[in-house]
Amino acid sequence: MQPKPILHGLYVITNNDREQTTAGLLQQVTQAIAGGARIVQYRDKSHDFKRRQQQALALRELCHQHQIPLIINDDPELARQAGADGVHLGRDDGSITSAREQLGEQALIGVSCYNQLDSAILAEQAGADYVAFGSFYHSPSKPQAVIAPVSLLEEARERLTIPIVAIGGITVENGANLLAAGATTLAVISGVFGQTNITATTQAYARLFDNNRNHEGSNVYCSKL
């Protein structure tokens, strides 16, 4: 049995552009991987299942060529059909138990916990491989998202043993504070894919992790094997 992928480094999330071609999506993700992205999430809220399936399969092929885990947003069935490495569940996306039954023990299952530490504790107990908190700052991708305090990361680091993902309005300028507070991983959408030079921008985010390890010690957690 192969071990689960290790969750660490920059976590990029595709930008849900329904007009984007598969070729354009692959080009953007390739540039992000070249810059140092370590996890990719495919996020598309459209109801065009054929298009979503095509793009998920293409991303799976690309990510696996580079040994990068691919996570599917919201949809365990699409994750299963695409052969992705896991799924990310929001508030209304079903249970961890159900996703585990569909995807198996080796799948990475992440859960959005917004600003709720209690939800994260319950998610870990239910078998989640990581939890995500945020939005920490105003996010152009989710302008109505609840704002979580940075202090939540410090509390979570004390209470949780699984990786902690920070999301929402994260920039190269504010990301270091989130890592220092306890985030394992920074999840970014428009901060990467909304930029002209995706590779250079991703490299700048990736350096935050190197700097954090140099000054604070390793901040990388492994998923449960």
Whole-number Å distance between alpha carbons of 147 and 70: 27
- Pick from 6-10, 33-37, 86-90, 166-170: least confident: 6-10
**Residue 188: its H or E element:** strand 185-188
Strands 108-114 and 37-42: unpaired
Q: What is the DSSP string of 58-101?
A: HHHHHHHHTT--EEEES-HHHHHHHT-SEEEE-TTS--HHHHHH
Share of the chain above pLDDT 70, in %: 93
User: Residue 46's Cα: distance from chain center in Å?
Assistant: 19
Determine the Cα–Cα distance for residues 28 and 135; give it in Å rounded to an integer: 24
Say how far apart CA 107 and CA 212 lie, in whole Å.
28
Residue 166 main-chain phi, psi, to 5 deg: -105, 140
Q: What domains appear along the chain, each with residue ranges and CATH number?
A: 9-216 (3.20.20.70)
pLDDT of residue 47: 83
Tell me which DSSP letter residue 47 carries: S
pLDDT of residue 219: 34
Using the 8-state DSSP alphabet, how is residue 222 labeled? Answer: P
- Alpha-carbon gap, residue 120 to 105, rounded angstroms: 19
Helix, strand, coil percent values for the chain (each to nearest 5):
40, 15, 40
pTM value?
A: 0.92
Q: List pLDDT tens digits, range 181-223.
A: 999 999 999 999 999 999 999 999 999 998 886 444 333 333 3
For residue 152, give the DSSP letter: H
Structure confidence at residue 224 (pLDDT): 32
